[in-house]
Amino acid sequence: MKYEFHSASSRGHANHGWLNAKHSFSFASWFNRYRMHFGALRVLNDDIVSPGMGFGKHPHDNMEIITIPLKGSLKHEDSMGFSEVIHAGEVQVMSAGTGIYHSEFNASSTEEINLFQLWIFPNRQEVEPRYQQMAYDIFDAKDHFLQLVSPDQEGPGLWIHQNAWIHLIDMSANSSQQYAMKQPGNGVYLMNIEGKKIILNQPLESRDAMGVWETDEIEILSTETGRMLLIEVPMQF
């Protein structure tokens, strides 16, 4: 088993006034050659966007983009004709494929939004762009790995062009869970959203993260109630 610990304070930070962004991996003006990606996970941004502000129309291609609002609502528009609002308690997937343009703005004029945005390298290039979103019930994640994303078009949650799985769990205090890898050779990046956890004797506070690979399963201990996001991805792709 191999692992690496990423403290919340070790993330890249860019405060643009309207956008307060934390980067788990090198992004935009923040570069760390030791933090380029974790397997096929290229980006994990933790963004806080001011009311009414956002990202104007910009392009993407050949990337699987997953957006998970934690607080507030996001207004999305794209070149495929979608115009949607994504709320906390929902998840959005875009396969950029051959190329798309989209914009993202805080849908509220009074409240900020906090969201995670993930980019995952796909296992197929130049696919037809597509869009999906769905709601989930956080109660279904209570001491249970709630599947948000997988490679399976028929399975629970949304699907992407990669042998990757994203789960959300809301762990009770003084509890433990075993996460089993879905595919040999994969690793999992565990982002502790809130509360206190222990993995491999390493304490994790809010927004601390750990990447673990070359193992079949991982034990997660929770010493305080709180949510965690698990992103399982191929380490070689």
Nearest to residue 229, comparing CAs of 180, 170, 184, 182? 170
* End position of a domain, from candidates 109, 135, 161: 135
193 and 224 belong to one structural domain: yes
Exposed/middle/buried for 68, CB within 10 Å: 0-12, 13-18, 19+? buried
Tokens of 57: 């129309």
Per-residue pLDDT 10s for the chain (237 aa) are: 999 999 999 999 999 999 999 999 999 999 999 999 999 999 999 999 999 999 999 999 999 999 999 999 999 999 999 999 999 999 999 999 999 999 999 999 999 999 999 999 999 999 999 999 999 999 999 999 999 999 999 999 999 999 999 999 999 999 999 999 999 999 999 999 999 999 999 999 999 999 999 999 999 999 999 999 999 999 998
User: Which of 81, 114, 135 represents a domain boundary (last residue)?
Assistant: 135
Range of the domain at 223: 138-234
Contact 218, 179 (CB under 8 A): yes
Is the entire prediction scored with pTM above 0.85? yes
Residue 198 and residue 224 in one domain: yes
Domain limit, last residue, from 80, 105, 135: 135
Are 144 and 125 part of one and the same domain? no
Looking at the structure, tell me whether residues 77 and 14 fall in a common domain: yes
Shared-domain flag, residues 98 and 195 = no
- Indicate if 102 and 8 belong to the same structural domain: yes
What is the rounded distance in angstroms from the CA atom of residue 51 to the CA atom of residue 237? 38
Torsion sign (Cα): 101, 75, 37, 12:
positive
List own/partner pairs for 32-40 with CB under 8 A and 24 or more apart: 35/6, 37/121, 38/187, 38/189, 38/211, 38/231, 38/233, 39/186, 39/187, 39/189, 39/213, 39/233, 39/234, 39/235, 39/236, 39/237, 40/120, 40/121, 40/162, 40/164, 40/233, 40/234, 40/235, 40/237
SS3 content of the chain, % helix, strand, coil (to 5): 5, 55, 40
b/e burial code for range 221-235 (CB count within 10 A of at least 16 → b): bbeeebbbbbbbbbe
Query: What is residue 237's predicted lDDT score, i.e. its pLDDT?
Result: 87
**Domain of 156: which CATH number?**
2.60.120.10
In the three-class reduction of DSSP (H, G, I as helix; E, B as strand; rest coil), residue 58 is classed as: strand
* Pair 116, 182 in one domain: no
Tokens of 116: 């995670």
Phi-psi region of 157 (alpha: psi -120 to 50; beta: other; left: phi over 0): left
Asked if 187 and 218 count as a contact pair (C-beta separation under 8 A), the reply is: no
Structural domain total, the chain: 2
